[in-house]
Amino acid sequence: MAVFLGCTNPALCKTYKCKDADGNTVFSDTACNTVAREVVVTHTGNSSIDSDKNAIQNCLTYLKSSQQMIEPESVKIDGHRFEWVAVKAVGSRRMVYLKVRSKNQYGVYTEAAEMKCLMMGDGRTVSTYPYELLDQP
């Protein structure tokens, strides 16, 4: 599996495959050694960027329907973050945190509040089941 650091569009980046000193296969944006060979990276539509966008949109849709908001369509996202969490009896799951504002009964935007959605194993679908987070060291 390749990890692209500093390259927001893998289709525009050069990627090299080579072996490190221990014989492990390494993928890099620079030639690792003189026998490194360039490999072609194709976009399949399932990139982490697409997955992140889907997770954010699905979380927002869930929050609009499950929270008592005066004007759900007025919701604005001021920021987001992702975190891996340990869920009892399930294991690791992604948690999406959205910093959202919406209009109150006077038509004025509220102060941004952080809301969260636990994602299912696919990382994009919001879990609607009760869950218990485990303490992490």
Model confidence over 30-40: pLDDT tens digits? Answer: 777 777 777 66
Tell me the percentage of the chain whose pLDDT exceeds 90: 33
Q: What are phi and psi of 72, to 5 degrees?
A: -55, -30
Q: What are phi and psi of 73, to 5 degrees?
A: -75, -10
* Residue 9: both structure tokens together: 């569009």
- b/e 57-88 (16+ beta carbons within 10 angstroms → b): ebbbebbbeeeebeeeeebebeebeeeebebe
Model confidence over 61-72: pLDDT tens digits? Answer: 999 888 878 888
Tell me the percentage of the chain whose pLDDT exceeds 70: 75
| Largest Cα–Cα separation, the chain | 67
Tell me: pLDDT of 6 over 50.
no
Per-residue confidence (pLDDT) for residue 7, from 0 to 100: 47
Per-residue confidence (pLDDT) for residue 52, from 0 to 100: 86
Pairwise CA distance, residues 68 & 95, whole Å: 21
